[in-house]
Structure 1
Amino acid sequence: MYRRIKKVLGGDILKKRGKGIGVTFYGTGYGNGFPDVSRAYARLLEDGKVEILVGATEVGQGAKTVMVQIASETLNIPIEDVILVNEDTSKAPDAGTAAASRQTYNSGNAVKIACENLKDNILQEAKKILNVNSKIGLVCEKGSVYVKTYPSKKVSFKEIANINNNLKGEGVFIAHTTQMDENGQGAPYWPYTFAACAVEVEVDTETGEVTILRAKLVLDVGKAVNPTLVEGQIDGGFAMGVGYALMEDVGLKDGKMLNSSFEKYIIPTSLDIPNIEKVLIEYPEDTAPYGAKGIGEPVLLPVAPAILNAIYDAIGVRFYEIPVTCEKILLQLNKG
C-alpha cells in the first residue's frame, strides 16, 4: 500500500505501508524434564487474618497481587485479610525462579493447595467448636465459618485462632514435564499459552524509519485472574517486542559490547508505541489455579515477527536478523 506526502519544498516522499502477523505457542515452566516445583505455606494468624508464605519474587509481573487474589478466592476472605510474605528467604519456602512465565501457574497452584489444606484444618477445628458431627455443610465466608442451614451458628477465624493458634496448610505443586527423546519427541511442557499479534507499519523509503500505525494482540490467558495486570503485560511485552525488532542492538564485536549505555543502546519510548487493541481469550486450563495460564513471555514473542512481516509486505524485503534498523533498510533498498 502506498501513500505520498508532499514535501514542504516540493517533491515527494514515498512512504509504503504493510501489514504483518506473528503467532506463537509457549510452554509454561522449565520444561524438558527439569524439576519444576513450587512450595507455599498458609497460616491462620491470631487476629483472624491469613499469612501466605511463598518464594514468588515480584519482578513487575504481578506476583504480589495474583498470589493474594488466589488465597482470597480459595479461603473466601477479603483481600485485605491476606498477608503475603514472598521475598523473605528465612520464612518463605522455595517457589522456583520468576522466569519461564511459571509463577502464576506453578506458585499460584502451590498457594491454592496450601489454602485448601488450611481451610480443611479450619473447618475441622470449627466442627469441634460449633459442636457439629461433620464439616460437611460448613461454609467459610468473610473470615467466619457457619452452618449452611443455620447461618447464625458460626465462629470467626479470630475465635478459632484463639483456641488453636497452630493451624497451617502446606502446598506443593510439581509441573508436568518430561525429557524429550533423542529424536526431539516428547511432552516437555504443560500447559501451553497461545498468542497472535497483527501490526500495520509505515516505512519511509527515504530515511528507513519504520512507524507502527496500528497493533492488535490476541492472547489465550486460560482465565484472567486480574485482567488489568494482563493488559499491562501486553503493553509492556509489545513495547519490548518493538525494541527487539527495530532498535535494541548490543553490537557485539570480539566479545565486547559496543552499545553498553542507553546513549547508544536505544529502547522504545511511549511515542514509538501505538494504542494496542487487546483481546483476551478465556478458555480455563483445568490444571491451573482458577484456570490461569502464564502470560509473561508469550505477550512478547509474536511482536517482532509481526513487525518484520509487515516490513516485508511494505517494501518487499525480507529481513532475517534483528534489529531492523533504518540503516539496514536503506542498505537493502539501495541494493535494488
Structure 2
Amino acid sequence: MKKRGFGIGTMWYGIGNTASNNPAGAFVDISDDGTVTVLTGCADMGQGSTTVLAQIAAETIGVCLEDVVVVSADTGVTPDAGASSASRQTYISGNAVRLAAESAREPMLSKAAEILNRPIQTLTLKQGRIWNGDQPTELTVKELITKCRGDGNLTLGHGYFNPAATKLDPENGQGIPYATYAFATQVAEVIVDTETGMVEVTKIVAAHDVGKAINPQSVEGQIEGGCAMGLGYALTEEVVIKDGEIKNPALSTYLVPTSMDVPEVYPIIIEELEASGPYGAKGVGEPALVPTAAAIANAVTDALGIRIYDLPMTPEKIVEAIKAASEEKPNYETKLK
C-alpha cells in the first residue's frame, strides 16, 4: 500500500562565523579603458561567488558586468577573505568589494563634480555614464578616468568588512553571535510504500529569505542543490562504521541521490533586505539544506503515523518501524487500509 504525506521544516541560520571576527578584504582597480579588476581571497567552489562579486563591483562603479574581471583565491596577490563556509561570502566579501569599489570611484565622482559644477552628492555612475540625479550626462566613465589620470589620480580602492558580533557570555549564554540571519521554510510531499519501505519525495516547496537576491538564478540553483543534499541526508546517505573502519567508502554503497531521485523543487525567493548587507544581500548556501530532512521526516510521519528519529530513513528502518507499530497496535494495518 502507498501512503501520501506532507511535512514542513522551518529554520533560522546565522550568517558567518559564530561569535567571532571573520573579516574579508578586497582591492579594486579601474583601468584606463574602463575595465575593472577585483582582487578577492574568496574561493569560488561552484557556488557562484565570483559572479556575484563581479555584479556588486559593476553596480557600484556603473559599468557592464562584462567589463569586470575577478581575480580570486590567489594567496600571492589577493587579500584574505576567510573561508568559503558559513554562507558568509556574499555578505562579507560582497561588502568588502562594495567598499573597495566605492573607494576606487571616489576620485571619479570628485572630478565629475568639478567638471559638471554639481554637488558630488547628486552624482552617480551607472550604465557607463555619469548621472546627475535621475538624468544621464554626456560624460562617460572612460572619459572621466582619462581626466583623473591627467590629474595624476589613480582609481584604486581597498575595502574590508567584519560583521558586528559579540562573544557569548559563558555564564548565561547571552550575546550577539551573528550580525544577520537567514530564514527558510520548506514543505515536502512524499509517497511511502508500506510493503517495501521505499519513500518517494515527489515535491519540495522551498521559501528562503535571502535579503536581496543579487543573482536570482544562482539563488534558485543553491536552493535546488540544498534540497538534493537534504534528500540524501534524509533517505540514503549513511556512513557505516565498524571497529573504527568505514565499511561503505564507495559511491556504490554510500548512496547519494541521482537525477532520477530528486523531486520537483519549487524555490521561492523572499527578499527582506538586510541593511548591513551589500545592496541588502545575505546568504543562502547552507540554509538551503537545513530544513529539508526535517520536512521529509515530518511528511513520512504524516503518511504513516509513525515517528522515525534515526536518519537516514532507509526502507529497512521504515519496514521495521511499521512492523513494530503493528505489533504494538494490532489494528495498525486496518488503520492503514
Q: TM-score, normalised by structure 2?
A: 0.89
1:150-187 CA distance string (max 9 Å, x none): 93356625524643463211111011221111222221
Which residue does the alignment assign to 2:26?
A: 40
Q: Where do 1:83-162 residues align within 5 Å?
A: 83-127=69-113, 130=115, 132=117, 135-145=120-130, 151-152=137-138, 156-160=143-147, 162=149
Shift of 1:36: 1.0
Quick check: 1:48–1:157 contact (8 Å CA) kept in 2? Answer: no
Q: For structure 2, which runs of at least 5 residues remain unmatched after alignment?
A: 327-337
Which residue does the alignment assign to 1:73?
A: 59
| Secondary structure in structure 2 of the residue aligned to 1:298 | helix
Distance 1:259 1:125, change over 3 A: same
For 2:311 and 2:155, how far apart are their aligned partners in 1? Answer: 55
Overall identity of the aligned pairs, in % = 43
Distance 1:18 1:137, change over 3 A: closer
1:51 matches 2:40? no
| Secondary structure in structure 2 of the residue aligned to 1:30 | coil
| Secondary structure in structure 2 of the residue aligned to 1:116 | helix
Quick check: 1:248–1:323 contact (8 Å CA) kept in 2? Answer: yes
Aligned to 1:302, which of 267, 291, 296?
291
How many residue pairs get aligned? The number is: 321
Indicate the structure with greater helix content. Answer: 2
For 2:269 and 2:102, how far apart are their aligned partners in 1? Answer: 28
For 1:44 and 1:160, how far apart are their aligned partners in 2? Answer: 13
For 1:258 and 1:119, how far apart are their aligned partners in 2? Answer: 57
Distance 1:90 1:144, change over 3 A: farther
1:197 matches 2:186? yes
For 1:233 and 1:54, how far apart are their aligned partners in 2? Answer: 22
For 2:291 and 2:131, how far apart are their aligned partners in 1? Answer: 50
For 1:220 and 1:24, how far apart are their aligned partners in 2? Answer: 11
Which residue does the alignment assign to 1:176?
A: 164
Shift of 1:88: 1.7
For 2:131 and 2:11, how far apart are their aligned partners in 1? Answer: 48
Quick check: 1:238–1:303 contact (8 Å CA) kept in 2? Answer: yes
Instruction: Kindly provide the amino acid, as one letter, of the partner of residue 27 in structure 1.
Output: G
Quick check: 1:46–1:165 contact (8 Å CA) kept in 2? Answer: no
1:285 matches 2:271? no
Q: Where do 1:246-325 residues align within 5 Å?
A: 246-325=235-314
Distance 1:65 1:131, change over 3 A: closer
For 1:317 and 1:150, how far apart are their aligned partners in 2? Answer: 65
| Secondary structure in structure 1 of the residue aligned to 2:288 | coil
Aligned to 1:62, which of 48, 71, 84?
48
Shift of 1:17: 1.4
| Secondary structure in structure 2 of the residue aligned to 1:61 | coil
Instruction: Kindly provide the amino acid, as one letter, of the partner of residue 334 in structure 1.
Output: K
Distance 1:263 1:133, change over 3 A: closer
1:237-259 CA distance string (max 9 Å, x none): 00000000000011122322111
Q: For structure 1, which runs of at least 5 residues remain unmatched after alignment?
A: 1-13
Distance 1:78 1:212, change over 3 A: same
Which residue does the alignment assign to 2:9?
A: 22
Instruction: Kindly provide the amino acid, as one letter, of the partner of residue 300 in structure 1.
Output: L
Shift of 1:90: 1.3
